[in-house]
Structure 1
Amino acid sequence: MQVVSISSLKGGVGKTSVTLGLASAALAAGIPTLVVDLDPHADATTGLGVSAGDHLGIGEMLRGARKADLAANVVPSGWTKTARRLNGQNTPRQPVLDVAMGSAFSGIYDRPDLGKRDLKRLSTLLGKVSGYGLVLIDCPPSLNGLTRMAWTASNRVLLVAEPGLFSVAGTERTMRALDLFRQEFAPNLAPAGIVANRVRSTSNEHTFRLAEMKQMFGDLLLEPTIAEQANWQQIQGAAHSVHHWPGDSAKQAAGTFDSLLKNLVQAGSVRNRVMRRPAS
């Protein structure tokens, strides 16, 4: 099970949108996936079309991590109904896209002085679930306790940036913070790469910043980049998967996320094999 944190220390760069796009691609690819909405704003939960019912949110489960039953409190994304309809009810393997719902209560852990015991709360919860090929954690846009908790529970961290001055500078700070965190708390944690989001091909500034990012981060800057999409807010507002939305622009965006997910999963599988290889 690959556990990937989607992170940015700068807000407003489309971190949750990237999480939703990757979840959409995973659903289309038939990869059983769990999305953990660790941002107290719970935007990913809303975008995934979740009906809460009596299930606990992630904040309440973190509080009682040793006793909480994560598997009993995940909720299927509303996207799976559409996927089943499109795939046909007789498909041998039904789509799985579950959500550990966001909760404002999780904000009590989003502070800078979280101790090592608290940092392991999410790891404890995820250690009780099985059957997923991929776990995506949507982190808050900060390096406080919740993001550090997510990194502790993850194999890799995927960073999201826009091709702008402040976002590029924030990504560089995040890379330094990630390196320090690995040294102190999680030596097996690795960067999954950096996704450039909301790219306008006609913008000279974006072209310049992408070249700058390539020079700064090398192969960590992933391809393809994600183009700015005019109807993205409409898709999210309707709580729809981008793969289920009509139109050429949505189809193109879906293809971009398919490619990013393929690279993410393949790179993670190679890394996991290397980590399991016995020492000579």
Structure 2
Amino acid sequence: MQVVSISSLKGGVGKTSVTLGLASAALAAGIPTLVVDLDPHADATTGLGVSAGSQLGIGEMLRNPRRVQLADQVVPSGWVENARRLAKNPAGRKPVLDVAMGSAYSGIYDRPDLGKRDLRRLTNLLSRVTGYGLVLIDCPPSLNGLTRMAWTASNRVLLVAEPGLFSVAGTERTMRALDLFREEFAPNLAPAGIIANRVRPSSNEHVFRLAEMKQMFGDLLLSPTIAEQANWQQIQGAAHSVHHWPGESAKQAAGTFDALVKNLMDTGSVRNRVMRRPVG
């Protein structure tokens, strides 16, 4: 089971949008997937079309991680019904995309002074979970307790950046923070890579920044990059999977996320990848 934190220490770069795109691609590929919405704003939960019932949110689960069975509290994404209806083999394996719902209550753990015991709360919850090929953790845009809790529970960290000056500088800081965190708390943690999001190929600034990122981060800068999509807000507002949205631009975006998920699930190349520090 691959456990991947989707992170950025700078807000507004589309981190949750990338999480949703990866979840959409995993669903389309038939990879049983769990999305853990660790951001107290719970935007991923909304975008995944979750209908909350009596299940606990992730914040409430973190309060008693040894007593709560996460598997009893997850809810299916609203996307699953569409996937089942559109599947070419509806009698085949049931598509799985479950959600550990976001919760404002989780904000009580988003502080900088969590000890090692608290950092393992999510690890304890996930340790009893089976049946998923991929777990995506949508982190808050900070390096406080919740992100560090997610990193502790993860195999890898996937960073999201825009091709702009402040975002590139923030990504470099995140890489250094990840390096330090790995040394102190999680020696087996490694970066899954860096996704450049909202790219405009016609922008000279974006072309320049992408070249800069390639020089700084080498093969950690993943390909393909994610192009800016005009109707992305509409897709998310409808709580729809990009793979189930009509139109050529959605089809192209779906293809991009398909390629990124394939890269993400290529465990052989990931295990052989050495942790790299930014140059300079």
Q: TM-score range by the shorter chain?
A: over 0.9
- Matching residue of 1:3: 3
* Distance in structure 2 (CA, Å) of the matches to 1:149 and 1:163: 27
Q: How many residues align?
A: 274
Distance 1:273 1:93, change over 3 A: farther
**Distance apart, 1:270 and its partner CA:** 4.3
* 1:72 aligned partner, one-letter code: D
Q: Secondary structure at the match of 1:131?
A: coil
- Matching residue of 1:128: 128
* 2:247 aligned partner, one-letter code: G
Q: Is the 8 A contact 2:84 2:90 kept in 1?
A: no
* Distance in structure 2 (CA, Å) of the matches to 1:154 and 1:101: 18
Flag structure 2 segments of 5+ consecutive residues without an equivalent: 274-280
Distance 1:104 1:269, change over 3 A: farther
Distance 1:8 1:109, change over 3 A: same
* 2:183 aligned partner, one-letter code: Q
**Distance apart, 1:87 and its partner CA:** 1.0
Runs of 4+ in 1 over 3 A off after TM superposition: 269-274
- Matching residue of 1:277: none
* 2:150 aligned partner, one-letter code: A
- Matching residue of 1:160: 160
Following superposition of structure 1 onto structure 2, how do residues 6-17 of structure 1 map, counting pairs within 5 Å?
Answer: 6-17=6-17
- Matching residue of 2:278: none
Following superposition of structure 1 onto structure 2, how do residues 33-52 of structure 1 map, counting pairs within 5 Å?
Answer: 33-52=33-52
- Matching residue of 1:72: 72
- Matching residue of 2:21: 21
Following superposition of structure 1 onto structure 2, how do residues 1-280 of structure 1 map, counting pairs within 5 Å?
Answer: 1-87=1-87, 90-266=90-266, 268-271=267-270
* 2:176 aligned partner, one-letter code: R
Higher mean C-alpha displacement, 214-223 vs 84-93: 84-93
Q: Is the 8 A contact 2:192 2:270 kept in 1?
A: no
* 1:221 aligned partner, one-letter code: L
* Distance in structure 2 (CA, Å) of the matches to 1:56 and 1:109: 16
* Distance in structure 2 (CA, Å) of the matches to 1:34 and 1:3: 9
RMSD between superposed Cα atoms in Å = 1.3
* Distance in structure 1 (CA, Å) of the matches to 2:232 and 2:157: 24
Summarize deviations over 1:200-234 as a string: whole Å, max 9, x none: 01100000000000010010000000000000000
- Matching residue of 2:276: none
Distance 1:200 1:270, change over 3 A: closer
* Distance in structure 1 (CA, Å) of the matches to 2:27 and 2:89: 16
Summarize deviations over 1:47-104 as a string: whole Å, max 9, x none: 0000010000000000011101100000000000000111167432010000000000
**Distance apart, 1:271 and its partner CA:** 4.0
